C-alpha cells in the first residue's frame, strides 16, 4: 500500500472517530462538571520549564473553545461553576477553565481569545513569580540543565549524596518533591552560580503586577498557586503559612479583587498534608487538585479534580467530556 493511501486511510479513520466523539458529546451529558487545566499556551518558554509541564500549541485552545460551544457546553471560571452548583443549577453543561502558574505569554495567547469568545476563566498564579527579577528555583534549575546538562547533574548528585531524602531514585525529583525547603535552598546555592541574564529571562516569562491587574480588570478570576510552587509537605509551619496565606494577601492587593480559590502545587495526594489542607480550607472557598475526574456538587469544593490539557486534540477532549467515568 502506498504512503499516500495509508495517510488517506488514517485521515479517514481520524475523521470518523472525531465525528463519533462529537455525536456522543452532544447526546450524552454525564453527571457533574469537568474542569480543564492548562499551563503554558503558546511557545517561547521551553528553555525554563521541566519537559513534563504540559504545553498547549497555539490554536489548540481556540479549537477547544470551539468544541465546547458547538457541543452546547458553557466554559466558565471555577468560581462561577461553584456558584452555579450553589444555586442548584444543572452543572452537566458546565466546563471549568483554569490556567496554572502565571506565564506572561498568556497576555497575548490566552486573554485576547477569552475576550473574543466572551469567556471567563480562573488564573492560578504563583505569587512569588509576579513581577519577579529572578526565576523560580525550579525554572532556574531547568534553564541551567539546558545549558550545562551533564555537568550540572554531576554537581547535583554530589550535593545531595548521603541526604536521607535523596537516597532513592532520581536526584532531581528528590530535590523537587522531597527535599525540605531549607536543604533545597542550600543545595541550589551550591550548584547554581549567579546568572546576570536571569532578570531579563524572568521578566519575559512571568506576569507583571500590571498584567495581574489587567486580567482582573478584564473580568478574569484570580486564584493562588502558592508563593514558590513548592510541594507543601516539604515546608515548615511558618513557610507553609507564607505559601498559602501571605501569597493570597499579596495577590488580592495586586488584583484588587477577592482571591478565594487555591490550586495545590503539583496537585497530587502526595503533595498535600492534613495541616496544609486544613490551612487551605480556612483560607479559601475552594481548591483544585490533579485527580483526573469530574467534580460533582456533592463533593467537597476543596478537592476539585481537573483534566490536564496539553496538545490534546479536540476529538480526544470530546471523548473525555462525554465519558461518564473519566478517572
User: In this predicted model, what pLDDT tens digit does every residue of 256-272 receive, in sequence order?
Assistant: 999 999 999 999 999 99
Instruction: Choose between 225 and 6: higher pLDDT.
Output: 225
Q: Inform me whether the pLDDT recorded for 32 exceeds 90.
A: no
DSSP assignment of 113-177 equals HHHHHT---EEEE-GGGTT-SS--HHHHHHHHHHHHHHHHHHHHHHHHTT-GGGSSS-HHHHHHH
All structural domains of the chain, each given as residue ranges with its CATH number in brackets, are 33-132+206-309 (3.20.20.370), 137-198 (no CATH)
202 — phi, psi (to 5°)?
Answer: -65, -40
Strands (E), 200-259: 221-224
Q: How far apart are CA 251 and CA 242, in angstroms?
A: 12
At 171, list the grid cell: 536526584
Does the predicted TM-score (pTM) go above 0.95? no
User: In this predicted model, what pLDDT tens digit does every residue of 151-199 receive, in sequence order?
Assistant: 999 999 999 998 999 988 889 899 989 999 999 999 999 999 888 889 9
Q: Inform me whether the pLDDT recorded for 290 exceeds 50.
A: yes
Amino acid at each position: 500500500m502506498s504512503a499516500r493511501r495509508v495517510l488517506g486511510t488514517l485521515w479517514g479513520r481520524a475523521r470518523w472517530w472525531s465525528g463519533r466523539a462529537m455525536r456522543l458529546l452532544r447526546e450524552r451529558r454525564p453527571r457533574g462538571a469537568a474542569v480543564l487545566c492548562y499551563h503554558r499556551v503558546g511557545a517561547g518558554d521551553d528553555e525554563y520549564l521541566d519537559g513534563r509541564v504540559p504545553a498547549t500549541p497555539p490554536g489548540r485552545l481556540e479549537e477547544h473553545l470551539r468544541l465546547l460551544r458547538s457541543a452546547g457546553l458553557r466554559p466558565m471560571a471555577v468560581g462561577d461553576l461553584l456558584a452555579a452548583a450553589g444555586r442548584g443549577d444543572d452543572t452537566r453543561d458546565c466546563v471549568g477553565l483554569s490556567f496554572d502558574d502565571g506565564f506572561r505569554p498568556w497576555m497575548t495567547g490566552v486573554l485576547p481569545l477569552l475576550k473574543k469568545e466572551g469567556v471567563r476563566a480562573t488564573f492560578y498564579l504563583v505569587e512569588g513569580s509576579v513581577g519577579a527579577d529572578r526565576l523560580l528555583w525550579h525554572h532556574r534549575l531547568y534553564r541551567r540543565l539546558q545549558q550545562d546538562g551533564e555537568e550540572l547533574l554531576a554537581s547535583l548528585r554530589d550535593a545531595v549524596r548521603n541526604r536521607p531524602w535523596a537516597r532513592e531514585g532520581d536526584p532531581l525529583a528528590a530535590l523537587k518533591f522531597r527535599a525540605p525547603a531549607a536543604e533545597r535552598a542550600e543545595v541550589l546555592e551550591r550548584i547554581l552560580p549567579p546568572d546576570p541574564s536571569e532578570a531579563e529571562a524572568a521578566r519575559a516569562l512571568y506576569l507583571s503586577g500590571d498584567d495581574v491587574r489587567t486580567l482582573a480588570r478584564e473580568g478574569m478570576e484570580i486564584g493562588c498557586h502558592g508563593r514558590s510552587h513548592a510541594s507543601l509537605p516539604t515546608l515548615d509551619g511558618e513557610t507553609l503559612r507564607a505559601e498559602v496565606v501571605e501569597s493570597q494577601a499579596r495577590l488580592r492587593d495586586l488584583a484588587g479583587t477577592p482571591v478565594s480559590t487555591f490550586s495545590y502545587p503539583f496537585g497530587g495526594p502526595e503533595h498535600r498534608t492534613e495541616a496544609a489542607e486544613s490551612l487551605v480550607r480556612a483560607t479559601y472557598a475552594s481548591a483544585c487538585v490533579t485527580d483526573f475526574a469530574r467534580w460533582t456538587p456533592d463533593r467537597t469544593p476543596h478537592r476539585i479534580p481537573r483534566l490536564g490539557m496539553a496538545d490534546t486534540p479536540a476529538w480526544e477532549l470530546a471523548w473525555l467530556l462525554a465519558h461518564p467515568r473519566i478517572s
